[in-house]
Each structure stands twice: as C-alpha cells, then as structure tokens.
Amino acid sequence: MNTNKNQNKGFHNKSKGIGMLYDDIFLVNGARTPFGKLCGTLGQVSPTDLGIFASKGALKNSQIKGSDIDQVVFANIGQSSADSYFLPRHIGLFSEIPEGVPAIMVQRICGSGFETIITGAEQITLGKAQVTLSGGTENMTLSPTVSFGNRMGYPLGKIDFKDMLWEALNDTAAVPMGCTAENVAIKHKITKEDTNQFAKESIDKYIAAKERGFFDDEIIKMNSTVFEIEGLTPRKVYLPKKTVDFNTDENVRPTDLEILGKLPSVFARDGVQTAGNSSGIVDGAASVIVADGNYIRNNGLRPLTKIVASSTSALDPRVMGLGPVPAIQLLLEMTGLSMSEIGLIEINEAFAAQFIGCERELGLNRDICNVNGGAIALGHPLAATGARISLTLSREMNARKVKYGIASACIGGGQGTAILFENCNL
C-alpha cells in the first residue's frame, strides 16, 4: 500500500460516501467500563460519570496526563441524565483536562464512537490539536419516559407518554431496526439456524477471550467514588451495596443451540431474529487517545495502531445493517488494499442476520472476524461501541502481530462507518 501521494486527503462521492486518508496519526491506547446489563449494576450511573471512568482509564493506559489533551470529542445518543447537555464538557473537566480545553459532542447514532475517533484525527490533521480524548458513553437503563408537548397541556383524556428506549428502535421513515435485519435475512436467504449458530459463536469467543484474560487490560475496575475538581461541585457515584472492583460484562450468558432455538422471533412472524441473537441493551462507556506522530515520538510513547483511513457511506434504510459493506469497500478503494490483506475485522453485531449479510456480500473469512466476541455477547451501548471496537481490534492486532485491521458498524437510518488501522509495532 502506498499512501505517500494521498496523505491527509479527503474523499467524497454521492454514490460511494465520504472518507479521508490520514498521515502520522495514532490510536495510543484506551479503556472502557464493564458493560452493565439493563437495570444492572450500572443502571443508576449517569452517562457522564461512565464517560469519566472510561476517560480516566484511557489516560492512565496511554501514560499521558490530562493536561496534554487539546480537545475532547465525545458521543452520547440517548440523553439519559438531566445534565446531559454538558456531558462532553463535564467529562473533560472531571478527567482533569484543563478548563481551557474545549469539548464537543458528535452524533452518528451507532457509528458515533467511530465518529469521535474520526473527528479527533481530522482536528489533528487541521492543526487544531495534537492529542484528543475521544469516546462515547451510554446509559440505556436510564433512558427516560417522556411526554412531548406537555408544556402546552393535553386534550381531555389524551395524556401521552413515550418510552424513549423503545421509540429509538424505530426508524419512522422506514421500518424498526429489527425489521431491517429481517429484510437482510430475506435478501440473503439467512435462516434462524444461521443466526443462532453465529450468536453461539460470538458468545463462545467472548467467554474464551475472558478466560484467557484478554479483557483485563481493557476493562477498568469501578467502585463507588466522588469525582472532585477544585472549584466545581463534586460528582458522587454510587454502585449497589457491596459492589467492589466491578469489572464484569453482565450481559454475557453461556448458551447452546438448543436454548437459542427455543427463543421466539421478536420482529417478524417466523423471523430469524430473537433476543438471543440480537445485540444486548447495556450501559457503558469507552474512551481512546488519538495523537499525532510528533507528540508520540517526543514523549516516547508506544501507540497501539496507526489510524490510516476512515469512510462513511449511506444506503437504503430498510437494509441499514448492510452499511459496513459500502463503507469497507470505499475504505479499500481509497487505500488500494484488497480484502486478503486485512488480517482482522470487527463489524458490530447489531443483529446476527445483519452481520451474516455483510459477511456474504464482502466475502469475509469468519475466522478473522470479531475474534473476541461481539455485541451479541457483551452488548451494544450505542455511543460507546465504536470506541470499544477500535480499542479491542487494536489490542488484538498487536497480540496477533497483524498488520491491518478494519473496524466497522452499521448505523440506524441507513449508514455505515469504517476505520482502517495499521499495526505500528511490527
């Protein structure tokens, strides 16, 4: 691959998407919280506090100080705390990043965690930063029940409340998210047996990775605490009584094909998607540090990977789960690489049928995909997933001494995002 002619070059095409090639920009390291199950251990922890936990962990794992951060780029999709307007700013301040450093929130639904990394890399490319804190956070348990228009009153007997977690699963311009997976299944003749087999593989891979200690350096330990910064109101975080050093992805449950086969279809009569082969609804946050090469070299750091290129594409929202296909195709076109040169691939497991559809269209080798399990096992906290996947992929690339890896996700509404990483430690 030769990027010398195209360093820091942007790309846009109305039929293929947008993208950029980067020069000398790196993912240093990162951290994430454990992912708590719906109404579980993290159910009462605000997304801001989850983001602070992950960000402080990312700074520690990257061996840099908060004072070296030039910008904070964070994501949160389902705003689920009263102070969520201030979320990226509060994460920066309570992560001991100087008060003069600005913060911004970005949103590309399920691709938002990736978008924080892309935005960080682009800000560095523009000369507006050397180092960024990038990440996403989500508390889906705290997703509110709302009454739109209550300020204007109600007609007699017409009080109307909405469950925002449930409503968020419906693309009102097309079909509910789960139905998009069923559409992919129809298109590619994917059976319920196919989806259940994939789900079992995801869970088994995760359990094997956990047993060998893969996640030990990725997941921080959480305890009840008080985040304090001089001059600011302290943030008090309480975990359930007797919770000490919480570091467990709670959504994961061992299973077998017989159990999965007994679960009913959720989104369509005789459909292929069930609660057992769809991504888990969880709470959690993930953060990474993005930095330019001069900063890396001047500080003697050993980053995990180089951020080579990124792409974002759009497609029919009724098959939104296929979004990684055009995004990855564009990424390969921009970089001149072939799929055979990619040693590891992570595609978010929103739904089993969605992944299998991407697998078939791209001709993927499943043996190098989601090798430590995916969202069907540990869950999909919307804004955090992209950062989590990028960190997991980068760590595994180093463990396996793989040169190139791609991280990608489908996005509600009909989009897909992908990032190409290069192992800089070979």
Tell me which residues are annotated as active site: 110, 410
Q: Three-state SS across the chain?
A: CCCHHHCCCEEEECCCEEEEECCCEEEEEEEECCCEECCCCCCCCCHHHHHHHHHHHHHHHHCCCHHHCCEEEEECCCCCCCCHHHHHHHHHHHCCCCCCCCEEEECCHHHHHHHHHHHHHHHHHCCCCCEEEEEEEEECCCCCEECCCHHHCCCCCCCCCEEHHHHCCECCCCCEHHHHHHHHHHHHCCCHHHHHHHHHHHHHHHHHHHHCCHHHHCECCECCEEECCCCCCCEEECCCCCCCCECCCCCCCCCCHHHHHHCCCCCCCCCCCCCCCECCCEEEEEEEEEEEHHHHHHCCCCCCEEEEEEEEEECCHHHHHHCHHHHHHHHHHHHCCCHHHCCEEEECCCEHHHHHHHHHHHCCCHHHECCCCCHHHHCCCHHHHHHHHHHHHHHHHHHHCCCEEEEEEEECCCEEEEEEEEECCC
Structure tokens at 145: 């029940």
Gap between the Cα atoms of 110 and 309, Å rounded: 19
Structure tokens at 105: 């929130």
**CA proximity to 308, closest of 341, 272, 349, 352:** 341
**CA proximity to 207, closest of 396, 372, 36:** 372
CA 333, chain centre distance (Å): 24
